[in-house]
Amino acid sequence: MDKVTEIEIQAIYAFVKNDVKYQSRVSRIIRTVTEALQFGTYCDSTKAKKINLIMSREAASLMGADKKKANFAKKTVLEHTKPISTLYKELLARKDDATLAEVSQKLVDYVRSFPLVTITGEQDRALKDNVALPHVRYHNARIEVGQVTAMTFGRHPEWTILPKALQMVVVDERRSDFV
């Protein structure tokens, strides 16, 4: 894990211990930490969408329909399947007992259990204000989550739906740098 991500996790821990209410600044730091944990290094959401193999069927279709990565980036959203606000509420609920190691592990577990998914802007609007469990949110919005084998802009990628039981629990076992 890079030094900046370690420091950001320490900041999240300090927010929790000091009962800092959820706000955009807290959200931004949690977002950058989860992106760094999922992709092995921090990258902004525009770059992450161009490398994230976990996406909706519709996002995969957009990728195949246009050679321009920039157009794909404009029409898609890197979405936290479980809202960051929900994660933060869970961290705050344990503020009295939380340790830095536990907060760090909770963030790692969050990314492993609820990976970031690339979806279309329209799908993102369908998910807004829906704080149900991830599989319920996605089911209600009729979003199928799958994985492509490669990022193939301008050619329709091979997209495979994740089994229902795994739709919101994706762990890349090849990654050894999660912690």
pTM: 0.84
Task: Judge residue 15's burial from the number of C-beta atoms within 10 Å of its C-beta, 0-12 exposed, 13-18 middle, 19 or more buried.
Answer: buried
Q: How far apart are the first and last CA of the chain?
A: 7
Q: pLDDT for 20-73, tens place per residue?
A: 999 999 999 999 999 999 999 998 889 999 999 999 999 999 998 989 999 999
- Looking at the chain, the whole-number percentage of residues with pLDDT higher than 70 is 89
Distance CA 49, CA 17 (A): 33
**Beta strand segments in the chain, E:** 54-56, 76-80, 116-120, 145-148, 159-161
pLDDT-derived band at 136, boundaries 50, 70, 90: confident
**Over residues 89-117, mean pLDDT:** 95
Domain boundaries, the chain: 3-162
**From the centroid of its chain, how far is CA 137?**
14
Given a cut of 80, is residue 176 above it in pLDDT?
Answer: no
For residue 62, CA distances in Å to 13, 20, 138, 151 come to 38, 39, 19, 11
Given a cut of 60, is residue 162 above it in pLDDT?
Answer: yes
- What SS3 string covers 4-15? HHHHHHHHHHHH
SS3 42: coil
Average pLDDT, the chain: 88
